[in-house]
């Protein structure tokens, strides 16, 4: 619709100047004035005439009427005056030329306008803490982060996806203590991740009874920091086991990272930043610790060094940001974490500003709400968590049961179950506004009815099925014609893809794409139910409808990719 508005604004402007030379609006101003009528039967866009009333000294309905009589545009089928608005309808020719033919020509690039060309965007997401479980709470950062990366990439940004692993800190001291006390090489080799997580959980349970364990953990971590050989070896081993586990989940989601530089990478990059803080007089000593006072900005102080001189989470983030700016020369660096960390980001972003880094406003924090399962909140320490891999496994299993029952002869059953199962979880999650807290209900996520992933996948598979049936027809030998409203409506929805992409980027909100996918599916299914496609009487109509189906498939396929949902040709 963007191009449509652009052309209409141009044509409207020439009409308005004819009406009076007192009007000196720019095309952009006209475009900003456009509204979407509440119901598309009223018009595709509306131009309100209220503001013009003062300049023209006429009532808005009169102005609207006058414009409607003079206005002509190649892209408009009609323009009617209603209550001070000029309601404008897009023409079929426009929809064919600028939507259908454009989708056919651009293919998977349709919807992209290159607005990110030449710019670099860094995304810090997923970033689990290696000693802790990789649980459903990480779903948000993982899929929102990756969607944002894909959206930016689609618009031409050069993107860097960073998994800032939590691979350093006292958590490793805890794990090492637990391993030394209760673990064994054999058990870890056999149990892998599960064994590591249960050692971590056991540590916490035992530490509640025996306070000295925490000191022991700190001591082991200090040894690690001083490169104690055994501890370094254990640490590398633990990290490797976890990385292998994460990879499986990332693979299911189609996610690949460009960098796994985690917290440990920055240990030697912090002193320089601490020194810079000290030299600029920003560091204050408070009860032995070094802090940056942020009271002027109504925030608690940002902690830089503990009493014992050890560094903290914000210190590491500051060092990492400086490193990334130098390394990638980013135009923006986006951090996706739970809203619980919002203060942390606000604090250290401010410190970066106070340090005089002029790129501080290129740092973006994207927070998201909490997830509970059937109303139950998660607690990492007690082990009351749903692991991400288990959540996906359950979804895949359920989908596979449905397929075995409904379509037992389906080829690649396993692949399809994975795409649909994992996709259903992702779609359900990303359907909500990211900041909202979500209660995850698997049954709803897996439903083939309603606004779900399986419904969207099913619609995609439907387009593939129709195209397969039409595979021996050359739909391109006739000129496209539009004969019914369902076709127009479908093309209109397809025309809004670029706008959806841009809003999703502007608001860092992948749910705009999930919702857009549902709009496309709804329009397509209406078209499918009300119109004959391959069996249409006239060859022109049949060919157009096949091409519409193909265009829908293209846009849906691209949109799925933007929200980390794999597509499947058959269900």
Q: Which residues bind ligand ARG (CB under 6 A)?
A: 124, 127-129, 164, 166, 317, 335, 337
Q: How far apart are CA 28 and CA 402, in angstroms?
A: 52
Q: Give whichever of 52 and 159 is closer to ligand ARG, judged by the CB atom.
A: 159
Q: How far apart are CA 552 and CA 264, in angstroms?
A: 46
Q: How far is CA 385 from CA 319, 372, 380, in A?
A: 32, 10, 6
The length of the chain is 571
HSE value, Cβ hemisphere, 13 Å, CA-based, for 31: 11
Minimal distance in Å, beta carbon 37 to ligand ARG? 43
Burial pattern 192-231, b for ≥16 Cβ within 10 A else e, equals ebebbbbbbbbbbeebeeeeebbebbbebbebbbeeeeeb
Q: Give whichever of 111 and 262 is closer to ligand ARG, judged by the CB atom.
A: 262
Residue 262's H or E segment, with its range, is none
Minimal distance in Å, beta carbon 337 to ligand ARG? 5
Q: How far apart are CA 38 and CA 199, in angstroms?
A: 58
Minimal distance in Å, beta carbon 208 to ligand ARG? 22
Q: Give whichever of 97 and 350 is closer to ligand ARG, judged by the CB atom.
A: 350
Q: Give whichever of 91 and 264 is closer to ligand ARG, judged by the CB atom.
A: 264
Please list the residues that pair with 122 across neighbouring strands.
160, 333
Minimal distance in Å, beta carbon 148 to ligand ARG? 14
Q: Give whichever of 71 and 246 is closer to ligand ARG, judged by the CB atom.
A: 246
Q: Give whichever of 56 and 320 is closer to ligand ARG, judged by the CB atom.
A: 320
| Interacting residues of 314 by C-beta distance below 8 A, sequence separation 6+ | 302, 303, 304, 344, 347, 348, 351
Minimal distance in Å, beta carbon 363 to ligand ARG? 10
Q: Give whichever of 127 and 315 is closer to ligand ARG, judged by the CB atom.
A: 127
Give me the numbers of helices (H) and strands (E) for the chain, helices first please. 22, 12
Q: Give whichever of 388 and 571 is closer to ligand ARG, judged by the CB atom.
A: 388
Minimal distance in Å, beta carbon 130 to ligand ARG? 9
Token pair 């810090």: residue: 124
Residue 38's H or E segment, with its range, is none
Minimal distance in Å, beta carbon 362 to ligand ARG? 15
Structure-block tokens of residue 172: 């490793």
Token pair 């598309």: residue: 40
Using Cβ positions, the residue closest to ligand ARG within the complex turns out to be: 166
Minimal distance in Å, beta carbon 258 to ligand ARG? 15
CA 441 to mean position of chain CA atoms: 21
Minimal distance in Å, beta carbon 321 to ligand ARG? 8
In contact, 100 and 345? CB cutoff 8 Å: no
In contact, 148 and 334? CB cutoff 8 Å: yes
Q: Give whichever of 124 and 225 is closer to ligand ARG, judged by the CB atom.
A: 124
Nearest CA among 307, 313, 302 for reference residue 352: 302
């Amino acid at each position: 619709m963007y191009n449509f508005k652009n052309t209409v604004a141009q044509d409207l402007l020439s009409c308005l100047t004819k009406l009076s030379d007192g009007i000196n609006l720019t095309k952009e101003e006209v475009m900003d004035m456009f509204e979407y009528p509440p119901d598309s039967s009223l018009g595709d866009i509306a131009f309100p005439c209220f503001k013009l009333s003062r300049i023209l000294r006429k009532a808005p309905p009169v102005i609207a009427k006058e414009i409607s009589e003079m206005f002509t545009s190649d892209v408009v089928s009609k323009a009617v005056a209603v209550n001070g608005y000029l309601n404008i309808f897009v023409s079929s020719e426009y929809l064919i030329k600028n939507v259908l033919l454009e989708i056919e020509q651009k293919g998977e690039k349709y919807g992209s306008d290159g607005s990110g060309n030449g710019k670099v965007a860094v995304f810090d997401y997923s970033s689990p803490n290696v000693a802790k479980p990789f649980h459903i709470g990480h779903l948000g950062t993982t899929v929102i982060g990756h969607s944002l990366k894909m959206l930016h990439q689609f618009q031409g940004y050069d993107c860097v996806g960073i998994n800032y692993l939590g691979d350093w800190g006292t958590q490793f001291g805890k794990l090492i203590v637990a391993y030394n006390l209760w673990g064994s090489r054999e058990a870890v080799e056999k149990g892998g991740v599960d064994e590591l997580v249960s050692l971590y959980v056991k540590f916490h349970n035992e530490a509640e009874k025996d306070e000295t364990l925490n000191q022991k953990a700190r001591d082991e971590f200090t040894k690690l920091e001083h490169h104690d050989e055994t501890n370094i070896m254990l640490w590398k081993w633990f990290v490797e086991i976890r990385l292998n586990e994460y990879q499986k989940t990332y693979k299911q989601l189609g996610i690949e990272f460009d960098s796994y530089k985690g917290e440990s990478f920055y240990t030697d990059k912090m002193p320089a930043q601490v020194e810079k803080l000290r030299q600029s007089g920003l560091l204050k000593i408070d009860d032995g610790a070094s802090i940056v006072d942020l009271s002027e900005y109504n925030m608690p102080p940002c902690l830089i060094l503990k009493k014992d001189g050890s560094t903290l989470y914000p210190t590491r983030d500051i060092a990492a940001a400086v490193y990334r700016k130098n390394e990638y020369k980013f135009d923006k660096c986006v951090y996706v974490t739970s809203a619980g960390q919002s203060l942390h980001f606000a604090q250290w972003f401010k410190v970066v500003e106070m340090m005089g880094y002029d790129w501080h406003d290129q740092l973006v924090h994207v927070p998201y709400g909490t997830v509970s399962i059937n109303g139950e909140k998660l607690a990492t320490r007690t082990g009351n968590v749903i692991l991400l891999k288990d959540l996906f496994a359950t979804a895949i299993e359920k989908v596979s049961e449905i397929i075995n029952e409904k379509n037992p002869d389906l080829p690649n059953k396993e692949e399809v179950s994975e795409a649909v199962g994992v996709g259903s979880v992702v779609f359900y999650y990303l359907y909500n506004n990211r900041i909202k807290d979500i209660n995850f209900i698997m049954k709803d996520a897996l439903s083939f009815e309603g606004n779900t992933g399986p419904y969207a996948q099913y619609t995609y598979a439907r387009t593939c099925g129709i195209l397969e049936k039409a595979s021996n027809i050359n739909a391109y030998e006739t000129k496209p014609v539009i004969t019914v409203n369902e076709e127009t409506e479908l093309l209109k929805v397809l025309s809004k893809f670029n706008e959806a992409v841009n809003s999703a980027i502007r608001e860092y909100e992948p749910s705009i794409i999930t919702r857009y996918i549902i709009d496309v599916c709804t329009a397509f299914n209406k078209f499918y139910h009300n119109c004959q496609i391959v069996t249409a009487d006239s060859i022109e109509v049949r060919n157009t409808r096949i091409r519409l189906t193909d265009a829908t498939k293209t846009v849906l396929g691209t949109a799925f990719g933007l929200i980390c949902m794999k597509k499947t040709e058959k269900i």
